[in-house]
């Protein structure tokens, strides 16, 4: 056979191992954030749900204000405010069943409280008397997580374990826009999709990672688009529309519970206050930008809908505010008491049984404390 | 010591058997990592586990160490007992944040509500002709992290006994497997597994009177060989557990011999030997006839395989150091 004859017999073929995978089209997010309030769909929303969301939003806003006030009084070491993001926080907690798990980041104290954790215990980390103030198993709320996105693989592992056990448990994990740049975000989404783990990833895109705007964080069309690369659906939603948030997260939870695998939800919202009480947001954004977002306030949006439909009047608003005031007063009163500290706790639960070395160090601290007590009395 | 029932087994086989027995005894034990399923691991330490227990119990994960360990955290939170394989010492580094920021401190952070019974198996150390990134001695990093147990077997029987203990432990254990001992054989009968070894106890492998060689993992056979050299009567202590550290056994030996040498592959500067030497000095000062010396790997990036023999502490280097333990006064 001549060379030309060989060439004639040659038929280009695709690489043998290549097969078409998932069709990306159904995974793509909407072109614009999904909204309910201010659209025709709002009329279909359940009045009971609207009232419930409203009451929680008002409580959440008040809780934020009280916690920030406590930082000024020196009662909290630091508080990362979620003012403006209350709809995300509240919806994340309300869409879950009792048996489900919530994996919050450090800005998600509100979601933790809305889930039922004691408001003071939820602030233990930020007061600084311990790291986690609540028993995660009691409310199925993981510890507030500070290292960004590192809680996301935990949510995947837990959901995977539940599924292996045959329990229809869903894990909802919360992260910010900055956190989506972390490697753990990528690894968690990839694991979740490969394992088809029942997880909902909620990204609160509040515009900033401390001072760095989203444009310096990602070149993706939207954060929700990132889902497609993992083979899971991405949903883009107005994070200040509590009803839209509730709908989208509920749908994602249902999908996960039914065995459909994970969903990535990007909530478009805005951090109206500075990163924490220690931050100065004037250095990186304009008042005009903040004002524009204040006019798209989650409580106002819902209040307008409720009033328009005759589901809320002056008395209702007052009642919601009084309820929130009670929460704040309780928080204030309890946080104004000094926490009970026992230095010997430092050595408790480092291991199930303290090592010989820790036993020695514990004895050393005890002796120091005794000497201190003798010296002052 | 030997009976007819004993047959030789490798350390790798003992480790496999430990996981198999643990999985059979406890349905919450799950093995996970890169290539641990169908292939049985690159060192074949998980050989047969996926076949016997199914892929849900011995799982090939995506290639992402932080994700593997992070997922193991969540699995442990839900009541499972994950045994994670990191493929090589240097490939475990992406999992450091999970290990340090979560695995090591979850029990403490939650006041005991959420212990994490996770075993992280890490093949470590050199001497197998591995190219770059395949031969690190990473134990000092783990030792410096409170909340972790750090365990390393040096014998076939310990490989089984200590791994069973690690998996049974309610605390996270970094289980360092000396790669170059994977194929070491010993007369250990896998059908009559030895008792589970408690974590935290060192053992005197060879009694002697002139000096104590304190060592662990891959350096144990080196020390045992050195101890046979003529002219010395060396005691060899196998630490087995770096955290918790068995001061009692180590110091009892040093008080008997009056001289001590720490031997490990890990670099000397900031390595385990510094901590060990300081502990011995603090506790045995008046029994010491000479400063505690260290024989360690050089403080260099791990060398290429064709040069690694110059880096690894060998019998001669150990004996040279023994010779420097100030014997003049006695002569």
Residue A282 pLDDT exceeds 70: yes
pLDDT higher than 90, residue B7: no
- Record: contact A184-B169, CB cut-off 8 A: no
| A203 contacts A262 by C-beta, under 8 angstroms | no
Judged by CB atoms closer than 8 Å, whether chains meet at B110 and A135 is answered as yes
**What's the rounded Cα separation, in Å, for the pair B41 and A199?**
29
Nearest to A188 among B70, B97, B109 (CB): B70
Provide long-range contacts, Cβ within 8 A and 24+ apart, for A271-275.
Answer: A271/A81, A271/A82, A271/A83, A271/A84, A271/A85, A271/A206, A271/A207, A271/A208, A272/A81, A272/A83, A272/A84, A272/A85, A273/A64, A273/A68, A273/A81, A273/A83, A273/A84, A274/A81, A275/A80, A275/A208, A275/A210, A275/A211
Strands B81-85 and B119-124 turn out to be parallel
| Shortest CA gap A195–chain B (Å) | 9
Q: What are the structural domains, with CATH classification, of chain B?
A: 8-187 (3.40.50.970), 203-326 (3.40.50.920)
H helix or E strand, kind and range, residue A252: helix A242-257
Chain B interface mutation, best of A121, A136, A173, A187, highest count of B Cβ atoms under 10 Å: A187
For residue B330, how far is the Cα from the chain centroid? 36
Decide: B8 and B185 in contact? Cβ < 8 Å: yes
Measured from the Cβ of residue A330, the count of other Cβ atoms closer than 10 Å reads 14
For residue range A227-269, list pLDDT tens digits in order: 999 999 999 999 999 999 999 999 999 999 999 999 999 999 9
Q: Which residues of A151-183 are buried (b: 16+ CB within 10 A; e: fewer)?
A: bbbbbbbbbbbbbbeeeebbbbbbbbbbbbebe
Give yes or no for residue A377 having a pLDDT over 60: no
SS3 B284: helix
* Candidates A143, A159, A161, partner chain B, best to mutate (most B CBs within 10 A): A161
CB-based contact (8 Å) between B147 and chain A? yes
Beta carbons within 10 angstroms of residue A124's beta carbon: 18
Contacts for A270 with CB less than 8 Å, ≥ 6 apart: A84, A85, A206, A207, A240, A290, A293, A296
Which helix or strand (DSSP H or E) is residue A152 part of? helix A152-165
Q: Report the pLDDT value the prediction gives residue B3, as an integer from 0 to 100.
A: 46
Minimum distance, in Å, between the CA of residue A198 and any CA atom of chain B: 13
Q: How far is CA A62 from CA A67, A114, A288, B6, B275, in A?
A: 9, 13, 24, 72, 52
How large is the average pLDDT for residues B17-32?
A: 97
Strands B185-187 and B8-10, how do they pair? antiparallel
Cross-chain Cβ contact B169/A352 below 8 Å: yes
For residue B1, what pLDDT is reported? 42
Contact criterion met (CB < 8 Å) for A351 and B77? no
Q: Which residues pair with A213 in a beta bridge?
A: A208
Residues from chain B that touch A158, judged by Cβ atoms under 8 A, are 74-75, 77-78
Q: Could you check whether the bond before residue B244 is cis, i.e. omega within 30 degrees of 0?
A: yes
Give the nearest partner residue to A351 out of B56, B78, B147, using CB atoms.
B147
Q: Is there a catalytic annotation at residue A284?
A: yes
Is the confidence at residue A4, as pLDDT, over 90?
no
Q: Which of A284, A285, A294, A296 is catalytic?
A: A284
Query: Does A188 contact B67 at a Cβ distance shorter than 8 Å?
Result: yes
Residues in chain A closer than 8 A to B247 (CB atoms): 356-357
Those residues with Cβ within 8 angstroms of residue B89's Cβ, 6 or more apart along the chain or in another chain: B122, B123, B124, B125, B134, B135, B136, B137, B138
Kindly identify which residue of chain A lies nearest to residue B113, measuring between CA atoms. Answer: A135
Residue B194 has pLDDT above 80, yes or no: no
Sequence length of chain A is 377
**Residues of A in Cβ contact (< 8 Å) with B200:** 355-356
Other C-beta atoms within 10 Å of B120: how many? 28
Evaluate whether B210 touches B259 at the Cβ level (below 8 Å).
yes
Could A191 and B64 be called an inter-chain contact, meaning their C-beta atoms sit closer than 8 Å? yes
- The CA distance from B295 to the nearest CA of chain A, in Å, is 25
Size of interface A-B (CB pairs under 8 A): 142
Q: What residues in A contact B97, CB-CB < 8 Å?
A: 147, 150, 184
Collect all residues of chain B within an 8 Å Cβ-Cβ radius of residue A345: 111
Q: How many CB atoms sit inside 10 A of residue A75's CB?
A: 21
d(CA B244, CA B264): 17
Contact A187 B74 (CB under 8 A): no
Say how far residue B216 (Cα) sits from the centre of its chain: 7
Contact criterion met (CB below 8 Å) for A350 and A358: yes
Report the distance separating Cα B70 and Cα B76, nearest Å.
10
At A98-153, the pLDDT tens digits run 999 999 999 999 999 999 999 999 999 999 999 999 999 999 999 999 999 999 99
What mean pLDDT comes out for the span B41-50? 98
Q: How far is A190 from chain B (nearest CA, A)?
A: 8
CB contact under 8 A, A147 and B147: no
A257 as an active site residue: the answer is no
First to last CA, chain A: 106
Nearest to B217 by CA among B174, B274, B255: B174
Q: What is the dihedral of CA A260, A262, A142, A69, to 10 degrees?
A: -120
**Strand intervals (E) in A37-190:** 101-103, 171-176
Please name the residue of chain B whose CA is at the shortest distance from the CA of residue A359. Answer: B244
pLDDT at B100 over 60: yes
Q: Which residues of A touch B96 (CB under 8 A)?
A: none
Using pLDDT thresholds of 50, 70 and 90, give the confidence band for residue A1.
low
Residue B243, helix vs strand vs coil = strand
Chain B: give the shortest CA distance to residue A236, in Å: 25
Q: Quick one: pLDDT at residue A12?
A: 77
Q: In what order do the strands lie in the sheet with A199-205?
A: A101-103, A171-176, A199-205, A263-268, A234-238
Interface predicted TM-score (ipTM): 0.95
Span A60-70, mean pLDDT? 97
Closest in B56, B97, B247 to A356, CB measured: B247
Q: Tell me the catalytic residues of B.
A: 134
Please name the residues in contact with A285: beta carbons below 8 A apart, sequence gap of 6 or more.
A208, A213
Contacting residues of B for A142, CB less than 8 Å apart: 77
Cβ contact, residue pair B77, A158, below 8 Å: yes
Q: Does B275 touch chain A (CB under 8 A)?
A: no
Inter-chain CB proximity B66 and A183 less than 8 Å:
yes
Residue with tokens 């490697």: A183
Is B78 within 8 Å of A158 when comparing Cβ atoms?
yes
Mean pLDDT of B217-239: 97
What local confidence, expressed as pLDDT, does residue B268 receive? Answer: 96
Alpha-carbon dihedral sign for residues B294, B295, B298, B301:
negative
Q: What was the pLDDT predicted at A10?
A: 74
Rounded mean pLDDT, B96-117: 98
Rounded mean pLDDT of B235-248?
A: 98
Nearest by CB: A352 against B61, B146, B171: B171
Is A184 in Cβ contact with B70 (below 8 Å)?
yes
Looking at residue A274, its pLDDT comes to 93
Q: Which residues contact A144 (CB under 8 A, 6 or more apart)?
A: A104, A105, A106, A108, A109, A112, A122, A125, A132
The span from the CA of B302 to the CA of B308, in Å, is 8
B126 touching A (Cβ < 8 Å): no
Asked whether the beta carbons of residue B247 and residue A131 sit closer than 8 angstroms, the reply is no
Hey, which residues does B215 pair with through a beta bridge?
A: B238, B263
DSSP per-residue letters across B51-103: HHH-TTTEEE--S-HHHHHHHHHHHHHTT-EEEEEPSSGGGGGGGHHHIIIII
Read off the pLDDT of each residue in A334-348 and give the average, rounded to a whole number.
95
Tell whether B109 lies on the interface with A, counting CB pairs under 8 A: yes
A224/A233 Cα distance (integer angstroms): 8
Give the confidence band of B2 by pLDDT, cuts at 50, 70, 90: very low
Query: What percentage of chain B exceeds 70 in pLDDT?
Result: 96
Distance from C-alpha of B248 to C-alpha of B256, rounded to nearest angstrom = 12
Residues of chain A in contact with residue B69, where contact means CB-CB under 8 angstroms, are: 153
Helix residue ranges per DSSP H, chain B: 11-25, 49-53, 65-77, 96-98, 106-109, 139-143, 156-168, 220-227, 247-257, 272-284, 308-311, 315-323
């Amino acid at each position: 056979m001549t060379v030309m004859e060989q060439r004639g017999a040659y038929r280009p073929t695709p690489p043998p191992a290549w097969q078409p995978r998932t069709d990306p089209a159904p995974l793509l997010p909407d072109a614009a954030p999904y909204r309910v309030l201010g659209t025709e769909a709002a009329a279909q929303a359940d009045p009971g749900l609207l009232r419930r969301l409203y009451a929680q939003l008002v409580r959440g806003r008040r809780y934020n204000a009280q916690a920030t006030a406590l930082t000024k009084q020196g009662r909290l070491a630091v508080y990362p405010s979620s003012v403006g993001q209350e709809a995300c926080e509240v919806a994340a907690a309300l869409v879950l069943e009792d048996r489900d798990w919530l994996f919050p980041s450090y800005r998600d104290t509100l979601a933790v409280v809305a889930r039922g954790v004691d408001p003071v215990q939820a602030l233990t980390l930020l007061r600084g008397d311990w790291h986690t103030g609540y028993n995660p198993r009691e409310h199925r709320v993981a510890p507030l997580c500070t290292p960004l996105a590192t809680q996301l693989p935990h949510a995947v592992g837990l959901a995977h374990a539940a599924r292996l056990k045959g329990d229809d448990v869903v894990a909802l994990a919360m992260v910010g826009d900055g956190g989506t740049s972390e490697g753990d975000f990528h690894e968690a989404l990839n694991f979740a999709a490969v394992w088809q783990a029942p997880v909902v990833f909620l990204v609160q895109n509040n515009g900033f990672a401390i001072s760095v705007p989203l444009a310096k964080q990602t070149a993706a069309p939207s954060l929700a688009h990132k889902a497609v690369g993992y083979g899971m659906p991405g949903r883009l939603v107005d994070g200040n529309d509590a009803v839209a948030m509730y709908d989208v997260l509920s749908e994602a939870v249902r999908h996960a519970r039914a065995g459909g695998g994970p969903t990535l939800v990007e909530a478009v919202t805005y951090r109206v206050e500075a990163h924490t009480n220690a931050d100065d947001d004037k250095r990186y954004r304009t008042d005009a930008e903040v004002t524009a977002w204040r006019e798209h306030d989650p409580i106002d949006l819902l209040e307008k809908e409720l009033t328009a439909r005759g589901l809320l009047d002056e008395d209702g608003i007052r009642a919601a505010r009084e309820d929130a005031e009670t929460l704040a007063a309780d928080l204030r009163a309890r946080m104004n008491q000094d926490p009970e500290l026992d230095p010997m706790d430092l050595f408790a639960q480092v291991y199930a049984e303290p090592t010989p070395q820790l036993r020695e160090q514990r004895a050393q601290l005890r002796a120091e404390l005794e000497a201190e007590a003798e010296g002052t009395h | 010591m030997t009976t007819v029932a004993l047959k030789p087994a490798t350390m790798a086989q003992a480790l496999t058997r430990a996981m198999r027995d643990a999985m059979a005894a406890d349905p919450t034990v799950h093995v996970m990592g890169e290539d641990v399923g169908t292939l049985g691991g690159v060192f074949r330490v998980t050989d047969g586990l996926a076949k016997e227990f199914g892929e849900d119990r011995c799982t090939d994960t995506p290639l992402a160490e932080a994700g593997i360990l992070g997922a193991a955290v969540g699995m442990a939170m839900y009541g499972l007992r994950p045994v994670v394989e990191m493929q090589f010492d240097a490939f475990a580094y992406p999992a450091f944040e999970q290990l340090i920021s979560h695995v090591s401190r979850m029990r403490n952070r939650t006041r005991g509500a959420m212990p994490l019974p996770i075993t992280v198996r890490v093949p470590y150390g050199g001497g197998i002709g591995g190219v770059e990134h395949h031969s690190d001695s990473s134990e000092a990093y783990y030792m410096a992290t409170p909340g972790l147990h750090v365990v390393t077997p040096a014998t076939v029987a310990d490989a089984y006994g200590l791994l069973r203990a690690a998996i049974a432990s309610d605390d996270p254990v970094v289980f360092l497997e000396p790669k170059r001992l994977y194929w070491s054989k010993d007369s250990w009968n896998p059908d009559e597994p030895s008792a589970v070894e408690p974590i935290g106890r060192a053992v005197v492998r060879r009694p002697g009177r002139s000096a104590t060689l304190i060592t662990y993992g891959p350096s144990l056979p080196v020390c045992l060989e050195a101890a046979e050299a003529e002219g010395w009567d060396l005691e060899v202590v196998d630490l087995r557990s770096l955290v918790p550290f068995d001061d009692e056994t180590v110091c009892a030996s040093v008080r008997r011999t009056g001289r001590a040498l720490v031997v490990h592959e890990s670099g000397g500067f900031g390595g385990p030997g510094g901590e060990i030497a300081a502990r011995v000095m603090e506790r045995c000062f008046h029994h010491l006839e000479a400063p505690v010396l260290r024989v360690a790997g050089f403080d260099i990036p791990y060398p290429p395989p064709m040069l690694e023999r110059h880096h690894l502490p060998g019998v001669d280097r150990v004996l040279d150091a023994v010779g420097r333990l100030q014997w003049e006064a006695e002569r």
